[in-house]
Structure 1
């Protein structure tokens, strides 16, 4: 046989012999050594765990809306063609019902009133004369000295004079009413929200001079969807937050009977407390935007610590600790939040032990080292603090 052809065959035989030798060298002792290495694998992280806790969480409905006046009153002028001589209030002033807000010039009205009173006196004098003539005519009626027509004329003159007295008295009352209208009075207690009155201006009847928030009451007009509207009732509590973060608790006064066909929202009217609206530095002002939550009661829920929820790719997960100290990533559906705990609606059971500290650094299947969470050490009592200070050589705090 050709020696050149034997070289490849010899190379193949050499490879087979080396492989067999390798398998022969992998003895049970070698396999035991590999197992010890696997057992000596280090955990990825040291973590703490917790079981879900059954809690009772409040049911709240969030909404947004505007703060507006409960009712606005328009205060106008009832005097026509008079000059405004005095304005006694300004925007932001609190007024009481019947308080004088502005004063018009009463010179022309006083002159007209004096003329009306003089006309009344003249009518009364003419009526007295007519009454005397009618009385004399009635005494002569039986004697025939006066004809029936003359007697009737005297009686008619008496009645006409009495009518002129009534007309003159009405004219006096009209002028007295004009004089009363020279003072603009507040129709109700409240806060002046707008002023257009200017001293020296001559305004016509019906011109608006002031606008006021009746009784200083404000309300929050929350916008609620039609689906959530059925959950609200008159008297439901609502926590409203102002622009500066101040919160106030109000009550639902009325639920709108209609829904806006454009936005599909309905208005819910919430009365705000006077303490948050009436003061000069009150946190709520008319026209302000505010957010709030309606308190609809409470319900049972399963909660986990906030640190146990890991958000990845837009989904929420928790890591379950298995018996072999490995973790499994579970997709959950979070719900309401209360302080540092979050409700879990779906994905775990009440006996699922989840990772708390370190959950954000884990991956599915990681080996972890589980330790019990230690409670913070209690603060030393004053006697212990003095003893510790004495041991350190420092003066104890008094």
Structure 2
């Protein structure tokens, strides 16, 4: 036989089920209504103030790199073969170093021949001088006629001239012999070689080219409007296509413009150890003075639809977009031209994710955002904590309390019949079958 539960027990069970089923539902369904009125923050941002500085005034230009001084070593004698060449392209040479040698046998033979002719002419000169002395002593006497005396004196002069001719011919052959050796005119680097061992060299053939002292110059191409500002001695920063930056100085500015390009050349000296190579193209900036600049970091400038923008923050912490004009670039900062007066603080980074009117949370410039701020960049709708009635801060992840378990004590006022929890009493089994 089964016993029916008493009325107080049924009342307690119904009251417990009612509270457990309606309490959490009321809290969860109320959150969307409150989210409609809660403020929404898009990002946590850091603001900075534009900075007034004095920046160098520069002129941009392009041009190629050339040898500062390029020496050509050419043959002055022809028809001789190259028998010795101790240098290659890229060899570092010093003034007087041997570069190449031609065959010398034929020229040495000619030199010996001319030396013999000089000796013969000098012997003839000695005889002529002796005859002349006798003729001068016999003048006025009867030993020699006047005609004979004149002949001896003329022969003496002719012998002296013959010696001079023979000596000159000897010097010519000695010079030709010396020209078979090619030596460096200055310190530098071999940049080109036009012959090989065994080649027969014609007169005027270029054998080598030498980059004097290994120095390179940049020839900056300037338009007519830039010429007035460029002067010798100004500092130049050259950026070759190979990378890096080289500091140089303007040596001279060409006095005329090229008729075809309508440009003038500014010759810029570069240090010998710059690593630049002739033939490279380079961009550069010439510092011509200084000028004040209002600047912001490059990260603060956002480009959209071909225009530059800065994002300011109004008193209500909402984004205000300002269209600006940018000028010079210097050390990671950008010059702002014609900035509006109200633009006293701008968003430092992350402007690409902002739009006009977005609400943001501003943190101090000196204090970086915490890891939590960076992890929760997009704020969630505001929620109220269950049972507290207080609004959750914007940007805080929402957490809901777990649903009450079945064995949670009831908060309703106990009845007079029993002061026990609302848990349903266990059913008593009927002992009777």
TM over 0.5: yes
- Give the CA RMSD over aligned residues: 2.4
Question: What is the 5 A alignment of 1:168-183?
Answer: 168-183=166-181
Question: What is the 5 A alignment of 1:70-89?
Answer: 70-89=68-87
In the alignment, which of 259, 282, 288 is matched to residue 296 of structure 1? Answer: 288
Residue 252 (structure 1) aligned with residue 250 (structure 2): yes
Contact 2:213 2:272 in 1 (8 A): no
- 2:301 paired residue number: 309
**What's the CA shift string for 1:331-364, capped at 9, x where partnerless?**
1112223344322111322762323344323322
**What's the CA shift string for 1:15-54, capped at 9, x where partnerless?**
xxxxxxxxxxxxxxxxxxxxx9997443444433232222
- 1:186 paired residue number: 184
Task: Flag the 1:41–1:178 CA change in 2: closer, same or farther, 3 A.
Answer: closer
Residue 270 of structure 1, CA deviation: 0.7
- 1:22 paired residue number: none
Residue 284 (structure 1) aligned with residue 276 (structure 2): yes
- 1:268 paired residue number: 266
Higher-Rg member (1/2):
2
Which of the two has greater helix per residue? Answer: 1
CA distance in 1, matches of 2:284, 2:122: 70
CA distance in 2, matches of 1:104, 1:353: 78
Relative to the length of structure 2, the TM-score reads 0.71
CA distance in 2, matches of 1:337, 1:269: 25
CA distance in 2, matches of 1:304, 1:129: 99
Residue 138 (structure 1) aligned with residue 136 (structure 2): yes
- 1:366 paired residue number: 358
CA distance in 2, matches of 1:110, 1:48: 87
Deviates more, 1:359-368 or 1:92-101: 359-368
| Uncovered stretches (5+) of structure 2, i.e. residues with no partner | 1-33, 370-433
In the alignment, which of 325, 333, 356 is matched to residue 341 of structure 1? Answer: 333
In the alignment, which of 198, 204, 207 is matched to residue 200 of structure 1? Answer: 198
- 2:431 paired residue number: none
CA distance in 2, matches of 1:358, 1:167: 91
In the alignment, which of 206, 211, 214 is matched to residue 213 of structure 1? Answer: 211
Deviates more, 1:321-330 or 1:203-212: 321-330
Relative to the length of structure 1, the TM-score reads 0.77
Contact 1:48 1:358 in 2 (8 A): no
CA distance in 2, matches of 1:72, 1:339: 36
Residue 106 of structure 1, CA deviation: 1.5
Residue 117 (structure 1) aligned with residue 109 (structure 2): no
Contact 1:79 1:181 in 2 (8 A): yes
Contact 1:77 1:204 in 2 (8 A): yes
Aligned pairs, number = 336
SS of match in other structure, 1:136: helix
Contact 1:53 1:350 in 2 (8 A): no
CA distance in 1, matches of 2:100, 2:364: 76
| Uncovered stretches (5+) of structure 1, i.e. residues with no partner | 1-35, 277-282, 378-398
Contact 1:47 1:370 in 2 (8 A): yes
CA distance in 1, matches of 2:331, 2:77: 62
- 2:321 paired residue number: 329
- 1:241 paired residue number: 239
